[in-house]
């Protein structure tokens, strides 16, 4: 998108100028302040990406831009457009509002509670309504009308719906029609490119059959998105799917991969997980990678005229109410892995994903994912903990922002103290120093800017004084 067009955009949530982030699954562009709230809600509510400093598949960005330009925001603010809503005093946030509570409350109502979305008439059987919506989605994806499909998805249509009469899914239909942007939208909402129709064909097969080669290649990338993202996080490279390379298993540069007995035991437990539990763990690690990468972009892109505040910190993965309490606690504990431990877990997941995909799966027990997390997680801390004391008494609530911030400070300090007593400098300590340097550089640039402004003012005053003396 051209710079001229980009400059005319406004934040979907507060109408502030020049939004620099996108909410991919909502089809909107948002500003820094509103993005900080989106991040605190979690990826199950809003999947945020920086428009300039995050790698974008071209057609994914095109999909978001198309939705934004076609007024996708009206889906999430439908009732606010009603004159009666204005009379009742309900309004959207504005740029001058405080992030907390004004913008935060509005954004939670808009995306988490779906308070302003158009409501369908009440039906006795919700499953019937969802089925009807999914059938409409199935018919709509053959066209290029993205906003209609997003509206159906927002109302409860299922992206992976298998049409009983047609014998296929919406992604099969979109692929056959060559609708690459519809395929992107469906994939964002969970459509599986590997799903077979009643004839045993996948969406990739139909895309190739129809000569839609770009779409076919993109669907393969989407199919391997999870493992590609994990590999890119560790080594900055992705597999060459065009030439049949579907996995990259990075190696530690310093050959320091954890080979302790605890790590070996954890790897065996990972291998013994059922495919369902393994997929859950892999998705949780994917979300943690996204959190860490977004944190890095966040620190590097903040406006240096204002220092980064604690309100922008997302110390661990937010709660997903659709998951069990145990799973949410396990997801939060991923934030406590230092860089070395986390890299070890990611490499083990990549290795086992490749093994499972090639069909050489092991038969094993249904060990709880929590056992793996406990085995790998901060081994020196585990030995010193009282077995009767859980790492987390309860899953944190999204509303407990202040408590989360205080707890995260204490946990980070405890982790640092423990790491410092452990001898050699770890990769995690290096990364913490690196992140601290990024923040320090931001502060330095801000101070330099202030200093330059003061110098300019001083020169102007000196010129005025010299002019008076000359007169």
What pLDDT digit, counting tens, does each position of 161-217 carry? 999 999 999 999 999 999 999 999 999 999 999 999 999 999 999 999 999 999 999
Q: Are residues 268 and 394 in the same domain?
A: yes
Q: What is the pLDDT of residue 285?
A: 98
Residue 55 lies in a domain: yes
Q: Are residues 148 and 55 in the same domain?
A: no
Q: Are residues 107 and 144 in the same domain?
A: no
Q: What is the pLDDT of residue 53?
A: 95
Mean pLDDT of 57-85: 92
Q: Are residues 377 and 278 in the same domain?
A: yes
Largest CA-CA distance found in the chain, in angstroms, rounded: 95
Q: Are residues 282 and 386 in the same domain?
A: yes
Residue 228 lies in a domain: no
Task: Specify the 3-state DSSP secondary structure of 3.
Answer: helix
CATH number, domain at 78? 1.10.220.150
Question: What is the pLDDT of the chain when averaged over all its residues?
Answer: 82
Residue 326 lies in a domain: yes
Q: Are residues 73 and 179 in the same domain?
A: no
Which residues form the domain of 206? 126-223
How many domains are there within the chain? 3
Residue 244 lies in a domain: no
Q: Are residues 180 and 134 in the same domain?
A: yes
406 pLDDT band, cuts 50/70/90, is very low
Name which of 155, 222, 238 is nearest 187 in CA terms. 222
Q: What is the pLDDT of residue 398?
A: 46
Q: For the sheet with 21-23, list strands across it.
A: 28-30, 21-23, 48-50
Cα separation, 51 vs 98, in Å, equals: 24
CB 159 within 8 A of CB 170: yes
Q: Are residues 191 and 44 in the same domain?
A: no
Q: What is the pTM of this model?
A: 0.77
Cα separation, 76 vs 99, in Å, equals: 19
CB 135 within 8 A of CB 163: yes
Q: What is the pLDDT of residue 464?
A: 73
| Sign of torsion over alpha carbons 230, 336, 270, 380 | positive
Residue 365 lies in a domain: yes
Domain stops at, among 88, 112, 136: 112
Q: Are residues 200 and 305 in the same domain?
A: no
Task: Specify the 3-state DSSP secondary structure of 23.
Answer: strand
> What are the pLDDT digits (tens) for 215-246?
999 999 999 999 999 999 999 999 999 999 99
Q: Are residues 287 and 425 in the same domain?
A: yes
Domain stops at, among 78, 112, 146: 112
Residue 308 lies in a domain: yes
- Which of the two residues, 417 and 324, has the higher pLDDT score? 324
Q: Are residues 293 and 217 in the same domain?
A: no
- Which of the two residues, 443 and 234, has the higher pLDDT score? 234
CATH number, domain at 214? 1.25.40.20
Residue 444 lies in a domain: no
Q: What is the pLDDT of residue 124?
A: 57
Residue 238 lies in a domain: no
Q: If you average pLDDT over each of 74-88, 412-426, 429-443, which comes out highest? A: 74-88
Q: Are residues 218 and 362 in the same domain?
A: no
453 pLDDT band, cuts 50/70/90, is confident
Domain stops at, among 223, 248, 272: 223
Q: What is the pLDDT of residue 162?
A: 97
């Amino acid at each position: 998108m051209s710079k001229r067009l980009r400059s005319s955009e406004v934040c979907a949530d507060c109408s502030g100028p020049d939004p620099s982030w996108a909410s991919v699954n909502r089809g909107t562009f948002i500003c820094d302040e509103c993005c900080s709230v989106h991040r605190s809600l979690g990826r199950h509510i809003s999947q945020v990406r920086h428009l300039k400093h995050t790698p974008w598949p071209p057609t994914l960005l095109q999909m978001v831009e198309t939705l934004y330009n076609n007024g996708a925001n009206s889906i999430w603010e439908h009732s606010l457009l009603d004159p009666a809503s204005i009379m009742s005093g309900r309004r959207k946030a504005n740029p001058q509002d405080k992030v907390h509570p004004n913008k935060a409350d509005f954004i939670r109502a808009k995306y988490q509670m779906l308070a302003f979305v158009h409501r369908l008439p009440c039906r006795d059987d919700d499953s019937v309504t969802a089925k009807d919506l999914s059938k409409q989605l199935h018919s709509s994806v053959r066209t290029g009308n993205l906003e209609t499909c997003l509206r159906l998805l927002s109302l409860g249509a299922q992206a992976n719906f298998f049409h009983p009469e047609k014998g296929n899914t919406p992604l099969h239909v979109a692929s056959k029609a060559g609708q690459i942007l519809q395929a992107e939208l469906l994939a964002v909402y969970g459509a599986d490119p590997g799903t077979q129709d009643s004839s045993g064909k996948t969406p990739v097969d139909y895309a190739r059959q129809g000569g839609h080669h770009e779409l076919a290649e993109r669907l393969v990338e989407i199919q391997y998105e999870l493992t590609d993202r994990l590999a890119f996080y560790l080594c900055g490279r992705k597999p060459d799917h065009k030439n049949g390379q579907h996995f990259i298993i990075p190696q530690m540069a310093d050959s320091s991969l954890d080979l302790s007995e605890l790590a070996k035991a954890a790897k065996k437990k990972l291998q013994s997980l059922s495919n369902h539990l393994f997929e859950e763990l892999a998705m949780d690690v994917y979300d943690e990678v996204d959190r860490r990468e977004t944190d890095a972009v966040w620190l590097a892109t903040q406006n240096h005229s204002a220092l980064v505040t604690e309100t922008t910190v997302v110390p661990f993965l937010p709660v997903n109410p659709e998951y069990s309490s145990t799973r949410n606690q396990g997801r939060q504990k991923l934030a406590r892995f230092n860089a070395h431990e986390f890299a070890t877990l990611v490499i083990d997941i990549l290795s086992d994903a490749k093994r499972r995909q090639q069909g050489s799966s092991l038969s094993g027990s249904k060990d709880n994912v929590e056992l793996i997390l406990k085995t790998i997680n901060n081994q020196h801390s585990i030995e010193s903990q009282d077995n009767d004391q859980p790492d987390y008494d309860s899953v944190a609530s999204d509303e407990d922002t202040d408590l989360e911030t205080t707890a995260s400070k204490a946990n980070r300090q405890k982790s640092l103290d423990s790491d410092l007593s452990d001898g050699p400098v770890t990769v995690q300590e290096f990364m913490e120093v690196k992140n601290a340097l990024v923040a320090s550089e931001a502060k330095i640039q801000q101070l330099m800017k202030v200093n330059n402004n003061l110098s300019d003012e001083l020169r102007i005053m000196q010129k005025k004084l010299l002019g008076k003396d000359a007169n």
